Structure 1
Amino acid sequence: MDIHLGDISHIIQLSIAPVFLLTGVGTKLAVLTNRLARIIDRSRVLEDRLGAAGGAGFAEAHSELLTLYRRAHLINRAITLSTCCGLLVCVVIAALFIGDALDLALAKFIALCFVAGMLSLIGSFVYLLREIFVATQTLSRRNLPSVPK
């Protein structure tokens, strides 16, 4: 079985769109890990404060810490789903190359992996949105100065 230069360029053309998608997923993973790092940093500060505090500061710090744990859990799920999406997109790219190079009928497998990847990406965005809602809900509950009417 000979693979010609024209065949390889056709295979590369087929894989361009999934590669761009993979770049976007990588960028999203960077955003998610940044959010998780900030949550972890804040949690460490609060854990230290809980160890040294007593009385009134304890309840507030404990409440914020519980919220941060919830946010971290949501971001972890978003990271997991984004990573699954990235892996599935890699499988799609590999299957495109293998299927076209070896003349295998992998269209249904490729479509299944692509749809599974998109569902993973959608789920990741849903968890990110939930985490953002939890974060902004916490912000609105803090003791902010009242705005005159």
Structure 2
Amino acid sequence: MPLDIAITIQLALAPAFLLVGIGQFLVLAAGRLGRVVDRARILADILPVEPGPEHDGCVRELRLLDRRMNVISLSILFGTMAMIAVCLVVAGLFAARHLDMPLTGVTTVTFVGAMGLLILGLVTFLYEIRLANKAIHVRSDIVGGPRK
């Protein structure tokens, strides 16, 4: 029996490292979300009351920031769900060993689901980065000419 537990712990080690990696991804995404929220608050505070080009520019940027917040939140949701699925894989490994039940099918499906959720989280994160790059611009009078 002690050997069974040791083998199960060895099997659970790889998913544990995966949890660390996903956790770091979530820290990164949460940091980006915080920065976007801070920028939106600053813009909302300086939003000109009078309609005009400055007002319209601030509103455009606020809309983009709102979209980025939604995308980052979705990425965090997928990452968190992936972590939960990986935790279920680890729990399934121990339950299968302890209960002497073949849960390989359930564990496999759960692990594949975790990978799918992680992929969705990373794809939405990549999309948010693309949105952020669209918002970054340097005035043409500084760089000399239109942006390519």
CA distance in 2: counterparts of 1:147 and 1:136, whole angstroms? 19
Letter aligned with residue 143 of structure 1: R
2:45 matched to 1:23? no
Of residues 5, 8, 14 in structure 2, which corresponds to 1:8?
5
* 1:87-119 Cα deviation digits (max 9, x unpaired): 000000000011012111100000000010000
Q: Does residue 1:46 correspond to 2:40, yes or no?
A: no
Structure 1 CA distance for aligned equivalents of residues 139 and 125 of structure 2: 25
Counterpart amino acid of residue 139 in structure 2: N
Shift of 1:136: 0.5
Question: What is the CA-CA distance between 1:12 and the residue it aligns to?
Answer: 0.2
Name the aligned partner's letter for residue 79 of structure 1: I
Which residue pairs with 1:127 in the alignment?
124
Deviating runs (4+, > 4 A) in structure 1? none
Any unmatched runs of 5+ in structure 2? none
Deviations 1:40-87 (A, max 9, x none): 00000111112x542332111111101101111110110000000000
RMSD between aligned residues: 1.3
Matches within 5 A, 1:60-79: 60-79=57-76
Out of 83, 90, 95, the residue aligned to residue 86 of structure 1 is 83
The sequence identity of aligned pairs, in percent, is 35
Give the AA of the match of 1:41.
Answer: D
What is the CA-CA distance between 1:146 and the residue it aligns to?
A: 2.5
Q: In 2, Cα distance between the equivalents of 1:36 and 1:133?
A: 14
Give the AA of the match of 1:37. G
Structure 1's unaligned 5+ residue stretches are none
The count of corresponding residues between Structure 1 and Structure 2 is: 143
Cα distance in 2 between the residues matched to 1:27 and 1:117: 16
